[in-house]
Amino acid sequence: MAGSPFDWIDEQARLRAQAGLVRTLRPRPAESHLLDLAGNDYLGLTRHPEVTAAAAAAAHRWGAGATGSRLVTGTTELHAELERDLADFCGFEAALVLSSGYAANLAAVTALAPHGSLIVSDAGNHASLIDGCRLARGTTQVVPHADPAAVRKALGTHEGPAVVVSDSVFSVDGDATPLSELAAVCREAGAGLLVDDAHGLGVLGDGGRGAPHAAGLAGSADTVVTVTLSKSLGSQGGAVLGPAKVIAHLVNAARTLIFDTGLAPAAAGSALAALRLLRREPERAARARAVATKLHELLTEEGLSAVRPDAAVVSVRAPSPEAAVRWAADCRREGLAVGCFRPPSVPDGVSRLRLTARADLSDAQVAEAVATISRTAP
Ligand X SMILES: Cc1ncc(COP(=O)(O)O)c(C=O)c1O
Q: Which residues bind ligand X (CB under 6 A)?
A: 100-102, 105, 126, 128, 167, 171, 196, 198-199, 228, 230, 238
Rounded to a whole number of angstroms, the minimum distance from the CB of residue 234 to ligand X is: 12
Rounded to a whole number of angstroms, the minimum distance from the CB of residue 180 to ligand X is: 19
φ/ψ bin of 20: left (φ > 0), alpha (ψ from -120 to 50), beta (otherwise): left
Phi, psi (deg, nearest 5) at residue 209: -75, 0
Nearer to ligand X, 87 or 172 (CB): 172
Q: Which residue is nearest to ligand X (CB)?
A: 101
Q: Residues 203, 312: contact at Cβ < 8 Å?
A: yes
Burial class (CB in 10 A: 0-12, 13-18, 19+), 159: exposed
Rounded to a whole number of angstroms, the minimum distance from the CB of residue 2 to ligand X is: 39
Rounded to a whole number of angstroms, the minimum distance from the CB of residue 297 to ligand X is: 24
> In whole angstroms, what is the distance from residue 318 CA to residue 327 CA?
8
Nearer to ligand X, 223 or 228 (CB): 228
Instruction: Single out the residue of 270, 243, 227 nearest to residue 107, CA to CA.
Output: 227
Phi, psi (deg, nearest 5) at residue 89: -60, -45
> In whole angstroms, what is the distance from residue 93 CA to residue 110 CA?
21
Q: Which H or E run includes 98?
A: strand 94-98
Phi, psi (deg, nearest 5) at residue 338: -130, 155
Q: Residues 75, 262: contact at Cβ < 8 Å?
A: yes
Q: Residues 323, 296: contact at Cβ < 8 Å?
A: no
Q: Residues 295, 369: contact at Cβ < 8 Å?
A: yes
How large is the angle between the packed helices 77-90 and 265-280, nearest 10 degrees? 30
Rounded to a whole number of angstroms, the minimum distance from the CB of residue 39 to ligand X is: 11
Nearer to ligand X, 285 or 370 (CB): 285
Nearer to ligand X, 117 or 230 (CB): 230
Nearer to ligand X, 128 or 351 (CB): 128
Nearer to ligand X, 109 or 298 (CB): 109
Rounded to a whole number of angstroms, the minimum distance from the CB of residue 199 to ligand X is: 6
Instruction: Single out the residue of 167, 204, 177 nearest to residue 288, CA to CA.
Output: 204
Rounded to a whole number of angstroms, the minimum distance from the CB of residue 334 to ligand X is: 27
Rounded to a whole number of angstroms, the minimum distance from the CB of residue 17 to ligand X is: 26
The sign of the CA dihedral 60, 64, 68, 71 is positive
Rounded to a whole number of angstroms, the minimum distance from the CB of residue 100 to ligand X is: 3
Close Cβ partners of 196 (under 8 Å, ≥ 6 residues apart): 101, 105, 125, 126, 128, 129, 165, 166, 167, 168, 225, 226, 227
Rounded to a whole number of angstroms, the minimum distance from the CB of residue 80 to ligand X is: 20
Measured in whole angstroms, the distance separating CA 288 from the mean position of its chain's CA atoms is 16
Nearer to ligand X, 183 or 312 (CB): 312
Nearer to ligand X, 192 or 234 (CB): 234
> In whole angstroms, what is the distance from residue 26 CA to residue 34 CA?
14
Nearer to ligand X, 109 or 189 (CB): 109
Nearer to ligand X, 44 or 237 (CB): 237
